[in-house]
Amino acid sequence: MAATRPLLDYAERIHPAAYWELLMNLTRREVKGRYSQTLFGVAWAIAQPLATMAVFTLVFARLANLSENGVPYPVFVYSGLVPWFFFLNSVNSGTMSLIQYRNIVTKTYFPREIIPLSQVCSRLLDFGAAATLVAVLMAYYNVSVTRWVLLVPGLFVLLVAFTIAVTLLTSAVNVFYRDVSPVVQIGLQLWLYVTPIAYPFSRVPGQWKTWIALNPLSGIIEGFRSAIVYGRAPDWSLLGLSAMLTAVMLIGAVVLFKRLDKYFADVI
């Protein structure tokens, strides 16, 4: 007979390797489901920011020169749209993810956060594909890279952390109140305009600056732009505020998620 295992009144922790592999497998399942039987596959991930870039360029570049540091507007706006769409798509599909996976949530136990996390992970592929086009555009418009590009990994961690925080929150609460999903969708549409994507943070009118700065995505997206297309130091205070808010939100989201996840199967 096998060695006696202790009687526990909580779920047994799963091996970290098993946790990671399950996350990767669910991510693969997600990606495969999304792109199977499409002709262009991941290329669609580039089409989304590219199309928005074209619209923004046609509309805003005509109205006023909203770019900064002499960067051509298409490069300026596309470099902001890539992280934005990563966030938008992650939160959008993440919010519904626990409901979509109702089948396994109500039938087997595993750490529940893996489901929204796999949604975020699956969008990393799209993010990577869309990001390569930033390099192409920069080469085309002759925008050069400086040493500040070394900040990119840190900014990337911040972006992913913030995206995870929001996704955990919306996915968990959506299990209990289905109204969350439409609210999130409308909220995300407005969020695009209160984030310095079509315009630089420096052009925000003074009395609104504080509010825009309280949006953690502002610091992150401005940071990406400084590091990659402007080639200069980021606005440290803006970035610092983003990092702080992100950390607080992530901790809060994890705590709330773990508190709620015991009830998922009962109400889903």
Partner 1 sequence: MSSRPTVIRFESVTKRYRTGRSRTIVDLVASSVDRLRGRNQDNYSAARGRIGSTVFALRDVTFDVAAGTGLGIIGSNGAGKTTLLKLISRVTWPTSGKVRVAGRVVSLIELGAGFHPELTGRENVYLGAGLFGLTRREIDARFDEIVQFAEVERLIDTPMKRYSSGLYARLGFSVAINSDPDVVLVDEVLAVGDAAFRRRAIDSLRRLIAEGKTVLFISHDIWNVRRLCERTIWMDEGRVRAVGAASEIADRYMEEVNVRALANRNNALQSHRSGTGEIRYTSVQIVEGDGCPAGIVREGSPLVVRASYQAASRVARPIFQIAIIDVDTGLVVATASSHPADAPRSVEGAGEVECVFESVPLRPRQYLLRMTITDAHQLVSYDVVTGETRFAVGAAGGRSGQGSDDEDGIVSLKYRFDHRLRAMS
Q: Which residues bind partner 1 (CB under 8 A)?
A: 1-2, 4-12, 14-15, 17-18, 21-22, 25-26, 28-29, 32-33, 36, 103-110, 176-180, 183, 262-263, 265-267
Tokens of 262: 């015991």
**CB of 104 vs partner 1, minimal distance in Å:** 5
Tokens of 266: 């009962």
Which is nearer to partner 1, 140 or 176 (by Cβ)? 176
Report d(CA 233, CA 239) in Å as an integer. 11
Which is nearer to partner 1, 15 or 203 (by Cβ)? 15
Residue among 204, 199, 188 at smallest CA distance from 221 = 199
For residues 172 and 256, the answer to whether their CB atoms sit within 8 Å is yes
Give the DSSP per-residue string, 166-209.
Answer: HHHHHHHHHHH-TTHHHHHHHHHHHHHHTSTTSS-GGGS-HHHH
**CB of 27 vs partner 1, minimal distance in Å:** 11
Which is nearer to partner 1, 138 or 175 (by Cβ)? 175
**CB of 16 vs partner 1, minimal distance in Å:** 9
Which is nearer to partner 1, 60 or 110 (by Cβ)? 110
**CB of 190 vs partner 1, minimal distance in Å:** 18
